[in-house]
């Protein structure tokens, strides 16, 4: 899989009153789940340093579960073995979130496209890979997960959002009030934070102001597989409808999965899908001509 699914290079700024602006932000930067990660935290420096150590440990554990590039991760072992017994509840929390997203989107969100992604990236024939797609064929019982023969899964369309939610929740428990978490997706405590949304063809298209919400953006054309197919795949086949989709929601997990799936949904389908998911606040759709459509919920 690719190292970063998004075409989203954003500058974040906390818009505060003059007194609050005197607080010095503490920033943590690294790589997580194949993306550049950054946490901006306002508070006393010693306290912030201790809190960020907790966040870093949580991210290490999430990488151990979901990093597709690490052969020792739980996800890689599931793909290699076809079955897995995993007792970490975070693994099953994400599986449940994937299941909800799959059903809410009418199957547009389907992580079993991984063999198709790999075949396209390698320039191989895709007919067999297409036949392996089907989230409903995965079996889950207690701590055990079993794939259908030949299946592989990728959580690259939702794991970054899940990690972002986990880190935001951890920082809130530690007493943080003004935070922007960026692990390929964004989630805020406090705010407002100003973010820009970019499209691979049309550049910076709009800005968004985030207060206590999450934002995720997907652009199919940011990467072409073997120079042809876009890297965000429709399980049923077909080209993307939108050049970029940006979703604002209470949950980065929902925003992440939804921004992926809606790339292949026409406007009527977008409205129906959004009505099935809680916490969605605004959808920004950019068509191939660069025109912008905004849906508020």
pLDDT digits (tens, 9 = 90+) for 122-175: 888 888 999 999 999 999 999 999 999 999 999 999 999 999 999 999 999 999
Mean pLDDT of the chain: 90
Residue 50 is predicted with a pLDDT of 93
Sequence-distant contacts of 58-64: CB under 8 A, at least 24 apart: 58/166, 58/167, 58/170, 59/30, 59/32, 59/163, 59/167, 59/183, 61/88, 61/90, 62/32, 62/33, 62/90, 62/159, 62/162, 62/163, 62/166, 63/32, 63/33
Could you tell me the pTM of the whole model? 0.90
Q: In percent, how much of the chain has pLDDT > 70?
A: 91
- CATH 3.10.520.10: which residues of the chain? 13-65+160-296
Q: Which of 57, 51, 22, 27 lies closest to 39, judged by CA?
A: 27
pLDDT cut 90: percent of the chain above it:
76
Cis peptide before 192 (omega within 30 of 0): yes
Number of Cβ within 10 Å of residue 157's Cβ equals: 25
CATH number for the domain running over 69-146: 1.10.3980
Question: Please, where in the chain does CATH 1.10.3980 lie?
Answer: 69-146
User: Domain 13-65+160-296 is classified in which CATH homologous superfamily?
Assistant: ApbE-like domains (3.10.520.10)
């Amino acid at each position: 899989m690719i190292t970063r699914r998004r075409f989203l290079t954003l500058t974040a700024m906390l818009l505060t009153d003059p007194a609050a602006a005197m607080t010095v932000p503490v920033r943590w930067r690294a790589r997580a789940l194949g993306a550049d990660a950054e946490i901006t935290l306002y508070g006393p420096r010693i306290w912030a340093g201790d809190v960020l150590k907790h966040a870093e440990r949580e991210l290490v554990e999430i990488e151990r579960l979901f990093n597709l590039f690490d052969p020792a991760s739980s996800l890689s072992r599931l793909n290699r073995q076809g079955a897995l017994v995993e007792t970490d509840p975070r693994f099953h929390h994400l599986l449940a979130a994937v299941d909800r997203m799959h059903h809410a989107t009418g199957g547009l969100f389907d992580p079993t496209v991984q063999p198709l992604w790999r075949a396209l990236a390698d320039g191989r024939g895709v007919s067999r890979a297409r036949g392996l797609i089907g989230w409903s064929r995965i079996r889950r019982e207690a701590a055990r997960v079993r794939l259908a023969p030949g299946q592989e899964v990728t959580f690259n369309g939702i794991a970054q959002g899940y990690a972002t939610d986990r880190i935001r929740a951890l920082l809130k428990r530690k007493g943080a009030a003004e935070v922007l978490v960026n692990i390929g997706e964004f989630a805020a405590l406090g705010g407002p934070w100003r973010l820009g949304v970019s499209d691979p063809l049309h550049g910076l298209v709009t800005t968004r102001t985030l207060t206590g919400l999450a934002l995720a953006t997907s652009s199919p054309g940011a990467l072409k597989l073997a120079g042809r197919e876009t890297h965000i795949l429709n399980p049923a086949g077909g080209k993307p409808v939108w050049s970029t989709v940006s979703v604002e929601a209470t949950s980065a997990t929902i925003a992440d999965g939804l921004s992926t799936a809606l790339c292949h949904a026409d406007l009527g389908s977008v409205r129906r899908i959004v009505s099935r998911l809680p916490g969605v606040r605004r959808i920004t759709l950019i068509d191939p001509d660069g025109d912008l459509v905004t849906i508020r919920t």
